[in-house]
Every structure is written in structure tokens, then in C-alpha cells.
Amino acid sequence: MTRQSGFVLVNALVIVAALAGAAVFLLTRAEGGRARLQASQTAGQLTYYLDAFDALAITMLNADLMTSNHDHADEAWAKTDIAVPLDRGRVAGRILDQQALFNLNWLNDPAYDAAQTAFDKVLQRASLSPRVGDQIMDFIQPGGPENKRTYAALTPARDPIGGALLMFDQVADIPGLSPQEIGRLREVATALPGGLPVNINTAPVEMLVDLLPEFPPNTLYQILNTRDRTPFVSVDDFVAALEDRLGEQLPEGFSPARISVSSEWFRADTAAELDGQQARRMTLLYRLGRQSGTLIRLKVSQFD
């Protein structure tokens, strides 16, 4: 082989290697683009799955509103725990009455003496430390926490002003509360306008007994344990049951305005899966009335 032909061969090999490298690079980019496109399409499809359950929840709550003026645990929306298999995935969800939970904003009402004691017992039943309650009280007190240095050290820094919570997720800003503690708290507590009453048809009996300390616990247990068979259709119905059992005028400290037999606020918890990719959503629903129906007030989605 001559020196000239050897030089041409080396150049050809270099060009082939360069072209091969370019081809690998382009194929890698193309594969990456395809993977990103597929992930985007999967996320879009998962969003449709989550939206579908939101639509189902709204439909069920609106249908219930047209047939009943009270809410209880035996209604269709309350028994909905749907898990639907789909092509290459599934979607599952449930609807929860938020007025069956302890409203953290009751703690800001100085006239609601029973709220603090009831909250302490709610935490105990949820296996949550009293420290959780102390930190929440410190967070929502007027003017905000006494020591704001821990909040200023967060990234980004926070400057809590205290007062009523606008949404439950604000408690995630409290330093020292673990995701596990927040998750357990979400199952028993909520954050709604402070004047909203608790639904005596859906709230745990133990919490209702704590919120109504004016009455003998045994009397309340006997009355409330009948609601599974015969839900209260009005507050007057509940008051009449109290008067029938006690046989006397109700205590002056009792405020019927703090209880209700119907609910306006609900939460839909949804999980979806497609091709191994997962998504979750929490949707806060506000049911206005028969003319306006149910509206989405907040939704928080997470894709894994």
C-alpha cells in the first residue's frame, strides 16, 4: 500500500467514525425526545383520568343535592370508593365530607371553649403527639408564631402572620411537622371558614361528644348511634331527640348554630396509574346549592 492510499484510508475511517458518532448522537436525541413525548402524553392521559373522577364527584354531589336536604354516611357519594381498571392502568378515588372533620379554624374562635379540648382528643385518637397541636396553635395565633427565626431560615423564607388558615396545606409550612404527621392530621382535620358547623350525621361520634360537653356523653352516644339507621333530617330533629332523652330545657351553653345535618365542603382523593407512571390529586369541592351546583375550589396534583 502506498503512503497516499494509506492516508486516504485513514481519512475514510475517521469520516466513518465521525458519521457513526453523529448517528449515535442523533439517535440518542431522537430516543430521548420520543421518551419525553411519551412521558408527556402519559401525564396528559393521567390528567384526564383525574379530571374524570372530579367530574364524577361533582355529578354525584349535585345528584344528591337534588334528592336530599341532609347528608349522611349511607348516601352514594359517601360509599363511593371506586377502583376502575383501564387499558394499561387504573384510576381510584373517594369522596370525603370535610364538615365531618375537625376544623382547625375553630381554634381561632375564643367563644368556642370546647374546640381546644376536642382537638387534643382528636390528636390523641389519631396517634399524634401533643407537640403537633402546640405547633399548630403557635402557627395560627394572632400575629403568628412567637419565634419566627425557624420560618425565616426556610427556603424560601416564610413570615407567617397567624390567624385563620386559608387551606389545610398551610400546615406544611410549619417546621418540624413530618409528612407522616401531616398525612395523619389530614385524615381527621381540615381548614374551612371558622363559622361552618360540624355535620352530626357524618362526624365521628367521639368528636361530637367532645364538641358538645354540655350534654352527658352517654346521652349523646345513645342518640348519635341511631343515625346509621335513621339519619337526622334537621337540627331540630336532633334537638328534639336531646329534649326527649333529657326531659328538660337544654343547657344555655348549647349553640345549635354549631351543628348541621348537611355539608357544603367535600374533598376528592384520586390516584391514577398508566404504563407504570402514577399521579395523585386532592380536589376541594364546594357545593353551593341546587342552582349553582358544586364547584372546584382547589386542586393539587402530583405526578411520580
Tens of pLDDT, residue by residue over 170-187, are: 999 899 899 999 999 999
Rounded to 5°, the CA angle 207-212-213 comes to 105
Alpha-carbon separation of residue 98 from 18, 107, 285 (angstroms): 64, 16, 9
* Residue 234 to residue 103: CA distance in whole angstroms: 21
pTM of the model: 0.84
Query: What is the phi/psi pair of residue 41, to 5°?
Result: -65, -40
Q: In the 3-class helix/strand/coil scheme, how is 60-91 assigned residue by residue?
A: HHHHHHHHCCCCCCCCCCCCCEEEEEECCEEE
Exposure of 242 in the CB half-sphere (CA atoms within 13 A): 20
The whole-number pLDDT of residue 226 equals 93
C-alpha cell at 76: 352514594
**CA distance linking residue 65 with residue 75, whole number of Å:** 11
Query: What pLDDT was estimated at residue 88?
Result: 84
Q: What is the pLDDT along the chain (304 residues), one digit of tens a residue?
A: 565 555 555 566 566 555 555 555 555 555 555 555 555 788 899 999 999 999 999 999 999 999 989 999 999 999 878 888 877 889 999 999 999 999 999 999 988 999 999 999 999 999 999 999 999 999 999 888 988 888 888 888 888 889 999 999 999 989 989 999 999 999 999 999 988 999 999 999 999 999 999 999 999 999 999 998 999 999 999 999 999 998 878 888 899 999 999 999 999 999 999 988 999 999 999 998 888 899 999 999 999 8
Name the region of 71 (left: φ>0; alpha: ψ -120 to 50; beta: rest).
Answer: beta
Burial of 3 (0-12, 13-18, 19+ CB in 10 A): exposed
Q: Which helix (H) or strand (E) holds 302?
A: strand 293-303
Assign 271 to helix, strand or coil. Answer: strand
Instruction: Please list, in sequence order, all residues whose beta carbon lies within 8 angstroms of the beta carbon of residue 293, skipping any fewer than 6 positions away.
Output: 58, 62, 65, 287
Half-sphere exposure of 181 (CA within 13 A, CB side): 18
Choosing among 3.40.50.720, 1.10.40.60, 1.10.10.410, 3.30.565.10, the CATH entry for 1-304 is 1.10.40.60
Residue 13: the pLDDT is 57
